[in-house]
Amino acid sequence: MKLRVLTTALAASLASGAVLAADAAKNYIPDFHGYLRSGIGATGGGGDQSCFQSNGADTKYRLGNECETYMEIVLGKSLWEQNAQSFYVDTRIAYKSAAQNDWSEDPGDGSGSNSDAISGDRAMTAHPYRDSVVSVREANAQFRGVISGQEKSNLWAGKRFYQRHDIHMADFYYWDLSGPGVGLEYWTLGPGDLSLAWVRNTDGPWVNGYGTEFYNDEIVRPNVINNVLSTRYANLTTNKDGSLELGIEYGTADLTNDQDSVKARVLASGEIERMEPFEYNNGWLFTAEHTQGNWFGGFNKFIAQYATGSMAATGNNNTHSSSNAGADFYGLDSEGDPTILPALDYMWRVIDHGTIAIGSRVEMMYAVWYESKKRNSATLNSGLAATGSGGEKNWFSIGIRPQYNWTDTMNTALEVGYDDVSFSNNYAGYGLSAADLAELPVGLDPNVLRSCATRDDHCVLTKVTLAQQWQAGPSIWARPVIRLFVTYADWNQGNFPQTPGIISAQDTSGVTFGAQVEAWW
C-alpha cells in the first residue's frame, strides 16, 4: 500500500511537473511587435532610386520616397502581475541599411549609416557591402499601476521611446524626447494625467569645434551631456471626444568640473591658447496639442510649439537638448568675453494633421505646418561669424494622402506633398565666396550649382506619388502593405533634393518607380 501511494505521488509529481514546464514555456513567449520597410526602386534616366527632400526641410513625404531598408524588432513581456500591477520589460533593436546588396554588413563604426544619407558626399563614398547599422533603441522596465488604483500610472527607467508624437505620412516626429531616462507617467492628478521624466542625450566632440584635442592635451572629456527635464499634462477633456496635452521641457548642458574650469590649452607649438570651450547652454520647449476624435471617421491634431536656445537647436525633433549643437558659434557675452552661444535663438511651429474618411471607400491622411527658426546674432570674433547672422528659416509644408479602396485588400493611394523653405540673412551660413565659385568645374553655370539656401532664396519641392497597394485590410492604418509606386518630383534650381549623383545637378525634376513593403505589428 505504501508503495502504491509512493508510486501515485511520483506519477502525480511527474505529471504536474510536465504541466508546469508546458505552462512555463507558454508563459515566457514574449509579446512580439515590430516595424519594417524595404523594397527596390529605380530612377528614370538610370541608377538606384533617388529620394526627394528639399534643402532646409527636416522631413520628406514618404510614400514612394524611401530609399532604405529599416526594421525594428520589439520583444516585451509582462514578467509579474498582481492586483492590477505589473512589471513589463521592453526592448527594441533597430536595423537600417541602404540595401544595395544581399550582404549588408554593419561595419561597426557607424559609417554604415552613411549610405542612405540623402545628401552630402557620404552617400557616394559608402561601401556597398557595408551599408548597415544596428542600434539598441529601447531597453526598459515599466512598473505599471505603480500608484494604487491607477492602472495607467507607470514608473519606468531605461532607454525608451518616450511619448513620441509623429505625422506618419511625413515621418515627422515633432515631439520626441527619446533616449535613456527615468520617469513617472500618466499619474492622474486633477482633471488630467501628469508625466515627469529626465532624459539624456549627449553631444559629440565636434560641438566646440576642437574635436578630441581637449582630451588629448588636457584629459578633459570632449563630449557634453545634455539633460532634458520634461513635464507633460495630458488627457484634459476640452470638448466631446477632444482632449488637450500641455508640455514644458527644459534642456541644459551638464558640464564636468574640468569642462567647466578649462580656460586654456597648450598648443603643439608650446603656446598657450586661452578660451572657454564649454558652456551651460540651455533652452525651453513649450508644447500644446489638441486631439479631436470622431473627426469625420478619423481624427485631427492641432499642435503649437515654441522653443528657445538649445531646445530649438538641432533638427526638428527636440530629441536633444543640444546645448552645444554642431552649428553653435563663438560670440561675445554681455561683458565682452568670448563665449559659445547656441546656434538658434528660437523656433516656433504650428501643425495640423489627421485622417478622415470620405464616403465608404476613401480614407485620407493630411498634414500642414509652418515652422520658423531664427539664429542667434552676436558680436563675433572668429571665422565662424556667418553662423551668428541672426538669419531666419521659414518652412511651410502641406500634404495629403488619399486612398481609394477597390476591395478590402487592394487600393490606390496618391500622395501629394509640397515644401517651401525660405532662407534669409544668411541663415545657412556657408555662402560660397568668389574664390569658391571660381573653382567650380568649367562649363557649369555657377548659379546652377549654387544652393538656394546659400542664395537666401526659397527652396521649393513638390512631390507626387501614385501607388497601387495590396494591404491587409481597408483601413489606412492596416499593415502590411505591398505597394508599386511611381513618384514625380519637381524642385527649383539650386535645391538639390535628390540622393546625390543619381539625377544630374542641373535637372529640376525627376521620376522614380519601384516597389516597397511596409509593415508593423
CB of 373 to another protein, least distance (A): 21
316-to-6, 160, 511 alpha-carbon distances in Å: 71, 19, 28
State the Cα–Cα distance between residues 403 and 361, nearest whole angstrom. Answer: 8
196 binds another protein (CB under 8 A): no
Query: Least distance in Å: CB of 77 to another protein?
Result: 14
Range list of H helices, 34-143: 122-125
Contacting range for another protein; rule: CB under 8 A; set: 112-120, 258-266, 302-310, 400-408: 400-408
CB-nearer residue toward another protein: 61 or 329: 61
| Spatial distance between the Cα atoms of 3 and 218, rounded to a whole number of angstroms | 80
Between 221 and 479, whose beta carbon lies closer to another protein? Answer: 479
Should residue 398 be labelled a site residue for another protein when binding is judged by CB under 8 A? Answer: yes
Does 12 bind another protein (CB under 8 A)? Our answer is: yes
Least gap, CB of 436 to another protein (angstroms) = 29
30 binds another protein (CB under 8 A): no
372: Cβ contacts below 8 Å, ≥ 6 apart: 347, 348, 349, 392, 393, 394, 395
Interface with another protein in residues 86-105 (CB under 8 A): 92
Distances (CA, A) of 403 to 168, 301, 316, 463, 471: 15, 20, 28, 17, 11
User: Binding pattern to another protein, positions 118-157, x when CB under 8 A?
Assistant: -------------------xx-------------------
**Residue with Cβ nearer another protein (256 or 317):** 317
Cβ of residue 254: shortest distance to another protein, in angstroms? 26
Considering all CA atoms of the chain, what is the largest pairwise distance in Å, rounded to the nearest integer? 106
Q: Which is nearer to another protein, 362 or 449 (CB)?
A: 362
Nearer to another protein, 250 or 470 (CB): 470
Q: Of residues 151, 166, 217, 333, which one binds another protein by CB under 8 A?
A: 166
Q: Binding to another protein (CB under 8 A): which residues in 263-302? A: 291, 293-294, 296-297, 299
Q: What angle do CA 366, 320, 427 make, to 5 degrees?
A: 75
Q: Does 319 bind another protein (CB under 8 A)?
A: no
Give whichever of 122 and 290 is closer to another protein, judged by the CB atom. Answer: 290
Please report, as residue ranges, which positions from 449 to 488 form the binding site for another protein (by CB under 8 A): 460, 462, 472-480
Grid coordinates representing 321 are 537638448
Stretch that binds another protein, among 260-268, 308-316, 322-330, 351-359 (CB under 8 A): 351-359
Interface segment toward another protein; rule CB under 8 A; list 259-267, 312-320, 374-382, 404-412: 404-412
CB of 12 to another protein, least distance (A): 5
**Which residues in 202-231 contact another protein (CB under 8 A)?**
none
Nearer to another protein, 353 or 374 (CB): 353
**264 vs 358 by CB, closer to another protein:** 358
C-beta of 22: minimal distance to another protein in Å? 9
- Nearest distance in Å: CB 291, another protein: 5
User: Which residues are CB-neighbours of 394 under 8 A, at least 6 positions away?
Assistant: 370, 371, 372, 373, 421, 422, 424
If the CB atoms of residues 366 and 513 are measured against another protein, the closer one turns out to be 366
Total residues interacting with another protein, rule: CB under 8 A: 71
* Nearer to another protein among residue 198 and residue 521 (C-beta): 521
Cis preceding linkage at 128, omega within 30: no
Q: Which three cell numbers stand for residue 331?
A: 560670440
Q: Which stretch binds another protein (CB under 8 A): 12-20, 41-49, 127-135, 143-151?
A: 12-20
Site for another protein contains 338 (CB under 8 A): no
Q: Residues with Cβ < 8 Å from 140, sequence gap 6 or more? A: 89, 90, 156, 157, 158, 159, 160
Residue 39 CA to residue 70 CA, distance in Å, equals 10
Q: Should residue 235 be labelled a site residue for another protein when binding is judged by CB under 8 A?
A: yes
Torsion sign, CA atoms 108, 110, 112, 113:
positive
357 contributes a contact to another protein by CB under 8 A: yes
31-60 residues near another protein, rule: CB under 8 A? 33-35
Residue with cell 502641406: 398
Residues 410-429 that bind another protein (CB under 8 A): 416, 418, 420
Q: Is 412 exposed, middle or buried (0-12, 13-18, 19+ CB in 10 A)?
A: middle
Using rule CB under 8 A, residue 189 touches another protein: no
- Dihedrals phi, psi of 426, to nearest 5 degrees: 55, 50
Q: Which is nearer to another protein, 151 or 166 (CB)?
A: 166
Phi-psi region of 64 (alpha: psi -120 to 50; beta: other; left: phi over 0): left
Q: How far apart are the first and last CA of the chain?
A: 57
* Binds another protein by CB under 8 A, chosen from 81, 408, 436, 507: 408
DSSP states along 371-399: EEEEE-B----STTGGGGB--EEEEEEEE
Q: Provide the b/e sequence for 97-127 (b: ≥16 CB within 10 Å).
A: bbbbeeebebbeeebbbbbbbbeeeebeebe
Helix (H) / strand (E) containing 228: strand 224-239
Q: Cβ distance 384 to 403 under 8 Å?
A: no
